[in-house]
Structure 1
Amino acid sequence: MSHYPLGAGLEPPPGFHAVKRNFRLLAMDAIFYFCGLAFMDASTVLPAFLATLTSSPLVIGTLIAIRPAGIFIPQLWTAHYLSGRKQHKSFLIKVAAVSRVAITFFALILFVSGPKNAGLMLTGFILFYTAFWFSEGGAGVPWTDLVAKTIPERLRGRLFGLMQVVGGLLAMMAAWLVKWTLGPHGPAYPTNYAFLMAVSALFYWLSLISLACVLEPEGPIENHNGGFWEYLGKLGKAFRQHSQLKLLIAIQLLVGMNGLSLPFYILYAEKVARIGGGMVGAFLFVQTAGSILSALITGQISDHRGPKSAIMIAVILAVLTPVSALMMRNAPGWTFGIVFLLLGGLVGCAWIGMTNFLLEISSPEERRGFIGLMNTANVPSLLYPVLGGLVVQFLSHEAVFALTALTGLIALLLCIILPPTRSPI
């Protein structure tokens, strides 16, 4: 915690111990969360699981689209609901508990299902995945605002980097477990996937326990004095007057179009390189390594040079990821690891850079509304996996990768003209 240097005989500044405690607890929360996420990864594990239930790319893409729908749709309602409160951790804990219950029950469903109970497993997946991500969507605004209330500006990049580095190292260990579980020596299907969901649930519960121990200070109450639609009108006016926010949302939408290709990188590798189930875990390992490397770099860059630099790295990776996939058609199966290395780096950079940028351009009174607005603006991305499935079904995998690369290039042009939040230190 070098943000608070202490000389001999000096007392720590007010709030130091609370910041130190909350820094550690929020880091533990996210570390456990990222590790749990590795066991139900949307680019490797879940597409491979769904491919055992359906052969339709469109169906797989549609089901994976539940995730962005659940994340983004509840955001503005949550921001409005919390706008009259000084504290909201109790709301956050209750909402987040729903996702933990959902994945626990899905693991139980898979444990009791036989390999021929495809209908039961598919129904269970739809119910679990919907409840899980709508719960996480409801938790997004209060969690991000909690970080802003408890962690000083120039420590946030370090916090986000630590979350991803340590969580990523645990997730890399998880990748080897995924590889063994889905390989020829692992449990039989569908017990192998049931085991992965159970371990994922364990880490999610540990995440929730850590979050519950965070000390939350009181925050300002937004003075909107109106209903939901009036609240939206005021947010819309603020959006139109804020050039940085408009550019940030546009960049986020374009970078998010990697969702067109997200479920199909692993399926493309299975198609052209005939990789086995064990390689899914290996690619997850490499993807996590990419996330760790990017977090090590961009966490420090965001704190010292500002979050725009981290966003620029993410945008470059948004171009390189689909371009690398286009180059793999006649390559050996192991070379697809490059795609997943870049994909992991993209996810890490985008989250650190864009979250920090948003928090730095919004006042405490605007913050919850801006968080909700920015996340809700991503609602179109829920169609990306569906559109990607249509492109694959009627054209080809190569076509969807080329389209994804094009959107990344447009994002790069916008990022160049995005004004920075502050001068480097």
Structure 2
Amino acid sequence: MKFSASSMIKIESKPWCFNDKINIGRSLMNNKKSIYAIFIWHAFFLAITMSMIDFNTVFPSLISSLTESKIIFGAIYSVMFGVPLVFNIMFGHYLSSKKFKKKFLLLGINLRAFSFLGMAFFTYTYANQNPQIVIISLFFWVFLFSFSGGFAGIVYTDLIGKFLKKGERGSLYASKQFFSSIGFLIGGFIIAFAFNISNISYPTNYALVLFMGFIGLLIASGAFWCIKEPPSKIEKYVSFFVFVKKIPEILKS
């Protein structure tokens, strides 16, 4: 049988574009309600996670179980709180030349997560046999935790500024505070449960809590993958010392 060209039915099909669907999904995630949900998600799971390394209870107890030296105790805490103060200015200068910063936020959060994993591994493996190794490793892991936290914190604040106007940020911070409080409460129950299970003893209980911190931070960072970040306005490059002089002006704006 012979068919003429006019008798043939031409069927056109538009190929399914995976990238287009991803972009559509991400654009939907960039509306105001979705942005609120993403930052609240992070705040909630971050609060649960930070309960695992509570600076007033869990972490001091871990250090005290490893050493009686108050000097080491103070030195570790100096690293924890001092590192962000030292490096944040350098981070700010470096990131000021970057049009897209979300990848640095994800890098910082994931480095923090792996610092939890490192602390869990060394605590579980060496706390009984060789606590000195755990103490030495804590200096490194706490440095990484604080270093990456400062790095991520700058980008986190920058993203809030990109997506929300000044008048919209207050309600976000209030919502974050509310859900963070719930997260800290849940984290407290998790810690109480981990330390009251009779068949889990030292150092497994501390390692378990730190490992849960690792999982919690990975979950907390998950929502940020959904954000499609708009580009930042890049001003003319300035030297580090000029940038430092401009910090008061930047803070006022």
Q: What is the TM-score of this pair, normalised by structure 2?
A: 0.80
Give matches, 1:398-409, under 5 Å.
none
Q: 1:106 aligns with which of 85, 99, 119?
A: 119
1:356-389 deviations in Å (ceiling 9; x for gaps)? xx6xx42xxxxxxxxxxxxxxxxxxxxxxxxxxx
Q: 1: distance between equivalents of 2:199 and 2:88?
A: 40
State the identity as a percent.
22
Find out whether 1:226 has 2:233 as its counterpart: no
| 1:67 aligned partner | 80
Change (3 A) 1:126 1:17: closer
1:70–1:136 Cα contact (<8 Å) kept: no
Q: 2: distance between equivalents of 1:215 and 1:23?
A: 14
Bigger Rg, structure 1 or 2:
2
Q: 1:162 aligns with which of 163, 169, 175?
A: 175
SS of alignment partner, residue 189 of structure 1: coil
* Aligned residue identity for 2:222: I
1:139-159 deviations in Å (ceiling 9; x for gaps)? 121110111111222232221
Unaligned residue ranges in structure 2 (runs of 5+): 1-27
SS of alignment partner, residue 143 of structure 1: helix
Q: 2: distance between equivalents of 1:154 and 1:169?
A: 25
Find out whether 1:31 has 2:25 as its counterpart: no
Aligned length: 226
Note the C-alpha offset of 1:50: 0.7
Note the C-alpha offset of 1:16: 9.9
Q: 1: distance between equivalents of 2:73 and 2:103?
A: 35
Give matches, 1:178-193, under 5 Å.
178-183=191-196, 185=198, 187-193=200-206
Q: 2: distance between equivalents of 1:186 and 1:157?
A: 46
Note the C-alpha offset of 1:186: 5.9
Q: 1:211 aligns with which of 224, 242, 247?
A: 224
Q: 2: distance between equivalents of 1:231 and 1:214?
A: 29
**What RMSD in Å do the two structures reach over aligned CA positions?**
2.3
Note the C-alpha offset of 1:178: 1.4
* Aligned residue identity for 1:128: W
- Structure 1's consecutive aligned runs of 4 or more residues displaced over 6 angstroms after TM superposition are none
SS of alignment partner, residue 65 of structure 1: helix
2:109–2:221 Cα contact (<8 Å) kept: yes
| 2:8 aligned partner | none
Change (3 A) 1:185 1:157: farther
1:35–1:168 Cα contact (<8 Å) kept: no
* Aligned residue identity for 2:188: A
Q: 2:31 aligns with which of 18, 21, 24?
A: 18
Q: 1:135 aligns with which of 139, 148, 171?
A: 148
1:69–1:134 Cα contact (<8 Å) kept: no
Q: 2: distance between equivalents of 1:112 and 1:45?
A: 19
Q: 2:161 aligns with which of 148, 172, 182?
A: 148
| 2:62 aligned partner | 49
1:36–1:203 Cα contact (<8 Å) kept: yes
Structure showing greater relative contact order (alpha-carbon pairs closer than 8 Å, 6 or more residues apart): 2
| 1:121 aligned partner | 134
Q: 1: distance between equivalents of 2:80 and 2:127?
A: 26
Q: 2: distance between equivalents of 1:73 and 1:171?
A: 28
Note the C-alpha offset of 1:184: 7.2
Note the C-alpha offset of 1:123: 1.9
1:31–1:166 Cα contact (<8 Å) kept: yes
SS of alignment partner, residue 68 of structure 2: coil
| 1:332 aligned partner | none
Q: 2: distance between equivalents of 1:178 and 1:16?
A: 33
1:18–1:215 Cα contact (<8 Å) kept: no
